[in-house]
Amino acid sequence: MREVGTIEELWRYPVKSMLGQRLAEAKVDEHGLPGDRRLALVDRETGRIASAKTPRLWRELLKCVAAIDDGARARDDDAGSGGGGGGGERYGAALAAAAVRITLPGAKPLWTTDADVDERLSSYTGRSVHLTDTPPEGATLERSIPDAILAAGVNAEVDAALVEIGSGSPPGTFVDFAPLHLITTSTLDRIAELSPRGAIEPQRYRPNLVIRTTGRGVAMGDFPATGFLENDWLGREVRIGPDLLIEIIAATPRCAIPTLEHGPLPRDPMALRTVATHNRIPPLADVAPEPCAGAYARVIVPGRIEPGDKVLVSVD
């Protein structure tokens, strides 16, 4: 394996399509980061998962912040130190049961255990919604065609694809495809370089892991680690820290979400347009090219990670 960088940031998003929380450490298992995408809103009218991938209906969710309190993590850490080898299996139990605090713009915090949680979220979104921790069988969401959003704007009613969530992940969460989503600073720097604003925020792409690259890449030989580095990682194993081992299973196709307001971050259509122009590739073999940035991964060996941990990628 070859060292390519270190972990710079860790993020989890307890409620799908809401802003999340930055973590100082995480124990990653087959489901990804504990508490990540474990809740979602279901549209009562359609039965589909609410997702800002359809900006006309759900972009206001990206102005909400969802967070799990640190007390749940402490309870998990206590369980994990009890000896007898059972702690690892119990890791995440408190997080799975913990209430999530949701901060709506201009309102007092809402807890997922509040009796009126559905009523308040329905009022905020303008749709009748139900908050759930159990993905419906065959759960789907609508994904507006990215190029159509770029052409017509976020308020337009455009063609959309119906997507079944979590097809590359164990059941039980609301991830789009796979348990982990990562992006490198090499990719972020290239997008910033190509964008008129000259900057890009990693939060727009909603990764679990931001990897600070060091200038060495992995492909058919040595090459400078610049540009959309993850394009060359498909099918490779990645070791992070002393224990975690993951496999890159797809490039991450980008939707309209990076272009939208994210809390205090303003709209930025170039966050998608730049990728659509300069990195339109097949996310998987035998799939039509799409704008891609970052990569999806599955977990081979669980492990605890934190910022500063080394990242190594397998070589041929």
Residue 118 CB contacts under 8 Å (≥ 6 apart), including other chains: 129, 130, 131
- The encoded tokens of residue 41 equal 């809103």
Taking all residues of the chain, what is their mean pLDDT, rounded to a whole number?
90
C-alpha span between 282 and 279 (Å, rounded): 10
pLDDT of 222 reads 47
pLDDT of 84 reads 32
Tell me the pLDDT tens digit for each residue of 243-252.
Answer: 999 999 999 9
Statement: residue 75 has pLDDT above 90: no
Statement: residue 284 has pLDDT above 60: yes
Q: Where are the domains of the chain?
A: 2-313
> Residue 220 — pLDDT band, cuts 50, 70, 90?
very low
pLDDT of 71 reads 61
64 with 15: CB under 8 angstroms?
yes
pTM above 0.85, yes or no: yes
C-alpha span between 69 and 109 (Å, rounded): 13
Find the mean pLDDT for residues 16-39.
96
- The encoded tokens of residue 158 equal 């455009």
245 with 237: CB under 8 angstroms?
yes
Q: Which of 53-57, 85-89, 210-214, 281-285 has the lowest mean pLDDT?
A: 85-89
